[in-house]
Chain A
Amino acid sequence: MNATELAAAVRSGERSAVEVVEEHLSRIDAREGELHAFNLVMADDARAAAAQIDAAVARGEDPGPLAGVPVALKDNMCTRGLPTTCSSKILDGWKPPYDATVVTRLRDAGAVFVGKTNLDEFAMGSSTENSAFGPTRNPHDPSRVPGGSSGGSAAAVAADFAALSLGSDTGGSIRQPAALCGVVGVKPTYGAVSRYGLIAFASSLDQIGPFATTVADAALALEVIWGHDPLDSTSIGSVPSAIESPLAVLDRGVEGLRVGIVDEITLAEGIAPEVRAAVEAAGLALESAGASVEHVSVPSAEYGLSAYYLIAPAEASSNLARYDGVRYGLRVDGETVEQMNAATRDCGFGAEVKRRIMLGTYALSTGYYDAYYGTAQRVRTLIIRDFERAYERFDVLLGATSPTVAFELGARTADPLAMYLSDVCTVPSNLSGDPAMSVPFGADAAGLPIGVQVLAPALQEATMFRVAAAIEAAKGSAS
């Protein structure tokens, strides 16, 4: 049963939330040892929360649109009184004294949290291999990665450990693992979902979004978590009041919509033939559903990766400065404060985090700022303008999510650049702030899932979901 069905069954009293959560916990019991999707399984809390939902239903109350739905949270979202680790040693022992806004909203909607999921340390990575607690494995093939950085959240939904999960997407960290794990993953418009309580990687790019097994489930989850939050200055005031509900338009079809297939994220070198074929097939499917489909070039998208790998590390170098051993988390003693800071950070951060802190520190340094950070910001402006131009002609854009299907564990760990290329199709939407989502569409010869990416202009989630729903509907006929 998917999230929509579960919530309906629990709300109507047809199924008990406790029974639902037990089912999921038993699946976790059976496969978690192999997959390692979680940093923390919250079995007791989940049972208690489910019992409360059942009690509410028994009293004739409506626990909300996610009544009794088991949800997994990426372990970079603050949960009051529960460890929140970012899969890093540096946060060892830290328990946030507050809940992230998304956590509060999900709980208020009746969701039952089953656990905190594994990620690349501080969300830096594309395979969930950069976790201080060991990698997560792909439920479709445990010898392969689930993608990253939200690999744990993608795997948890793909393995049905949870009906929904949340991830964070800074350069593709929801969409790419969604593609590799064969689930739906959404990065909403920047500012649509509050970042309050999301431990920052790159503040101007980070955005929380849902994983789900269906497009409708993803819309259901998104509409619970989004909306203005006074605690986040970058939160958009008009969400959801002034924008269309994706859930309400899912079955409206794509008749008359103009769809552009973006060459730079479909045909570029490094994008596997079967992935390209899936994008083209999705285009054909939309065409036969009544949309007009054309190829389009967004030239600056090709520089997205370079700009991203300057801006994101620059912001990260500042965001991660606070892990200094003074107030919380790990402390490794030293003779002086400076030595304590250095020893703590040396021991607490993994190699990829250190690499990006150094990259970012360098990019912001006097004498280099303009050449690196400044140029990257100008490229970002170009990308925004190029996408705006494309959206004058198209309602939505289409492309690959990940250049390849899930790769083997260890295949790219020795070559950071090869790993960074995993994000080439997804970073442009983070830089532009526009929404984008990955929908499973077909598989390669070995049966590994492929995701197709749907991109839309800012706040046009409703149109994006309509197109995603049409692609989902055509899935059966693909491959």
Chain B
Amino acid sequence: MTDTTDTADASRTDQWETVVGLEVHVELATVTKLFCACPNLFGAEPNTNICPVCLGLPGSLPVLNERVVEFALRVGEAFHFDVPERSIFHRKNYFYPDMPKDFQTTQYDEPICLAGWLDVDGVRVGITRAHLEEDTGKSVHLGGGGRIHDASHSLVDYNRAGVPLMEIVSEPDMRSSEQARRYVEELRATLLAIGVSDVKMEEGSLRVDANISVRHYGDEFGTRAEIKNVNSLRSLARAIDYEHDRQIEMLERGERVKQETRHWDEEAGCTRPGRSKEEPDDYRYFPEPDLVPIAPSAELRAHVRASMPELPAAQRTRLIDEWGINDHEAGVLLSTPGLAEYAETAVVALDGGGTPKDVVNWATNDVLSYVNETGLSPALLAPEMLAELVRLVGDGTISRNQARDVLAESLREEKWPKAIVSERGLAQVSDEGALGAAVDDVLAQNADAVEEWRSGDDKVKKKKRGFLMGECMKALKGQGNPQLLNRLLDERLARG
């Protein structure tokens, strides 16, 4: 690599600062939709979870799902929002086939959550607002290239219409793609912990739009581009980096950045301008006359405050302090819903038969792989079984290697590790007499190898010792306590 590019890049990074603000749309995990009693479910047969209300049939009227207000209050607590006495819904008017009423019922200038924040790795990111709105249906364009302009016809699935969404709008407080990624991670972990959403980007239950601009350090904010269609944390970081480069190149060429909506193209690794409209949209917002203001009662506020769980940031600090695990391990534990709770219960069940670190090791490796493979929630697993496994390793009953198999079976078959150990006859031989006799037999039967060990250099010594150890294990059908066996073998070899 030549120096010129590096230098140019370095000077560029020196001069330019990226400014990122994020709009995060979160599907709220209520049982029913925002304004009707239809199930709020992902992946049902098209147009099966619909009714006159979410289809916007003439004469139908919305009724606010009270659970949604409770969820919004939880969000309010978690991100230190001000939740006003009264907030209202507006209508956002525009025509689109997947929007049953041809207006979206959404909050506008009187949202339910105002002025909150979230600390991300020591940096406080301001959150301007969080508001409630309904989701639209989903269009499928058939024939042609799958896009609306060349489709022969289109189908609409209204199952998603009326699903409750919360839009969480940050201040332009982030300065790098990494920081933006971390913000979303923290936001997700918190939303997950307070139980308001399953925050699955791949299923669209969490969607991110990024507002990106660049400026010289100390300057006013530059013109921003809004990037849509960012479907993973990785794409978010890539899209921000791409925009950063694109905008700086334009500015350095003396061009101006256009304020526009751009779409992230994952395959091409670039953003492209969206369809430009001849006229700017005029959504003709006005207060929704079919709904009354949201005015959470003092009782509901108190209930929510009292029932708030420990938030991930606090939980992370506590686990690091109490368990002596590192930041990364804590991060892994907290990024899978239910895994930290699973580990916490297992630690309690250890009853002194192992350390929390042992539990975390198993939880973040074998248990996590199992959870990822099967899609099961850790909440469905029995942490007491893991605790028993850790105890079995701790007291020398089985080796770590054996434990892996035992745990796999325990998870799969929901069986207690002790039962598996006794069924498989896995218990380690830890009796010195029995082990010593076995070692003596092996040494007697392999006098050649012993001789080679004695006269060989370090390399040979290592090899022959390994061979003899293997023979000992074989003789013990793999059930010899390895620590003990190692010691006995070394003692006998040294003795000659």
Contact = CB atoms under 8 A, between A and B. Distances in A.
Interface of A: 76-78, 84, 86, 91, 94, 96-98, 100, 195-200, 202-204, 230-234, 314-315, 317-318, 321-322, 324, 326-328, 336-338, 341, 361, 364-366, 369, 373
Given A97-B57, A196-B61, A324-B95, A233 B284 contact: no
B87 interface: no
Contacts of A328: 57
Given A318-B91, A364-B93, A327 B61 contact: no
A336 B55 CA distance: 22
B56 to A, nearest CB: 5
Given A322-B100, A365-B284, A234 B290 contact: yes
Nearest to B96: A337
Given A233-B63, A364-B93, A373-B286, 19 more contacts: A91-B58, A94-B58, A96-B57, A98-B57, A199-B58, A200-B58, A202-B289, A204-B289, A233-B61, A318-B286, A321-B102, A322-B101, A326-B97, A326-B156, A328-B57, A337-B148, A361-B284, A364-B285, A369-B284
B291 interface: yes
Q: Report the 9 A-B pairs with minimum CB-CB distance, sorted nearest first.
A: A321-B102, A364-B284, A204-B289, A203-B289, A199-B58, A197-B59, A78-B59, A199-B59, A326-B97
A232 B59 contact: no
Interface in B154-182: 154, 156
Contact of A322 (B56, B64, B156): B56
Given A84-B58, A96-B59, A364-B284, A321 B93 contact: yes
Interface in B237-291: 282, 284-286, 289-291
Contacts of B289: 202-204, 234, 315
B292 interface: yes
A337 B59 contact: no
B93 A318 contact: yes
Interface string B372-384: 0000000000000
B28 to A, nearest CB: 19
Contacts of A336: 149
A326 B282 CA distance: 22
A168 to B, nearest CB: 11
- Interface residue SS majority, chain A: loop
Contacts of B149: 336
Nearest to B149: A336
A412 B176 CA distance: 67
A100 B148 CA distance: 36
**Residue among A96, A231, A336 facing the most chain B CB atoms (10 A cut-off):** A231
Q: How large is the interface on B (under 10, 10 to 19, 20 to 34, 35 or more residues)?
A: 20 to 34
A248 to B, nearest CB: 30
B96 to A, nearest CB: 8
B64 A327 contact: no
Contacts of A195: 61
B143 interface: no
B97 A232 contact: no
B95 A341 contact: yes
A198 B57 CA distance: 11
A315 B290 CA distance: 10
Contact of B284 (A86, A97, A200, A318): A318
Contacts of A197: 59-60
A454 B285 CA distance: 36
A321 B103 contact: yes
Interface in B275-328: 282, 284-286, 289-292
Contacts of A77: 59
B52 interface: yes
B62 interface: yes
Contacts of B55: 327
A94 B100 CA distance: 15
29 contacts: A76-B59, A94-B58, A96-B52, A96-B57, A96-B58, A96-B59, A97-B52, A98-B52, A98-B57, A200-B59, A200-B290, A203-B289, A204-B289, A231-B63, A233-B64, A234-B289, A234-B292, A318-B284, A318-B286, A321-B103, A322-B56, A322-B58, A322-B102, A324-B102, A336-B149, A364-B93, A364-B284, A366-B284, A369-B284
A321 B282 CA distance: 14
Given A96-B58, A96-B59, A196-B60, A338 B95 contact: yes
A94 B156 CA distance: 19
Contact of B286 (A232, A234, A341, A364): A364
A321 B101 contact: yes
A35 B466 CA distance: 108
Contacts of B52: 96-98
B62 A233 contact: yes
A233 B136 CA distance: 21
A116 to B, nearest CB: 13
Nearest to A98: B52
B164 to A, nearest CB: 16
Interface string B350-367: 000000000000000000
A435 to B, nearest CB: 19
A337 B97 contact: yes
Contacts of A233: 61-64, 290-292
Contacts of B64: 233
A341 B95 CA distance: 9
B141 to A, nearest CB: 10
B246 to A, nearest CB: 30
Task: Tell me which of A78, A317, A322, A336 has the highest count of chain B C-beta atoms within 10 A of its own C-beta.
Answer: A322
A100 B52 CA distance: 11
A324 B284 CA distance: 18
A357 B9 CA distance: 56
Contacts of B97: 324, 326, 337
